[in-house]
Amino acid sequence: MKDEDKTFENETVIDFKRAKDDRGINDLERIIEKLRNNIRDLLSMNTQYRTELADQIVKIKTLEQEITNLKKERSEYYGAS
């Protein structure tokens, strides 16, 4: 008898620990905090992408310079023959 469920048909069971902290879907403080965290994460990702993009631009410029130098060397080699 101790372990039996003693709820009745139309009875509502309230979890007071949860209800004390829960303000429902209108809990603006939690929503604002969640949005702030999302913005912080997005700003961090933006910084990482900018750094990665800058590195890629440097690599591309280096490769373009290398190609130009190789074309110049090739031109000099075939021009000297």
What's the pTM value of the predicted model, to 2 decimals? 0.53
Split at pLDDT 50, 70, 90, the class of 1 is: very low
Burial readout 61-70 (b: 16 or more C-beta within 10 A, e: otherwise): eeeeeeeeee
Question: What is the predicted pLDDT for the residue at 72?
Answer: 93
CB proximity list for 29: less than 8 A, separation 6 or greater: 23
In the chain, where are the structural domains located? 26-80
Q: Which pLDDT tens digit goes with each residue over 45-78?
A: 999 999 999 999 999 999 999 999 999 999 888 8
The C-alpha atoms of residue 35 and residue 41 are separated, in whole angstroms, by: 10
Q: Which pLDDT tens digit goes with each residue over 10-49?
A: 677 766 666 666 666 667 888 889 999 999 999 999 999 9
The C-alpha atoms of residue 49 and residue 43 are separated, in whole angstroms, by: 10
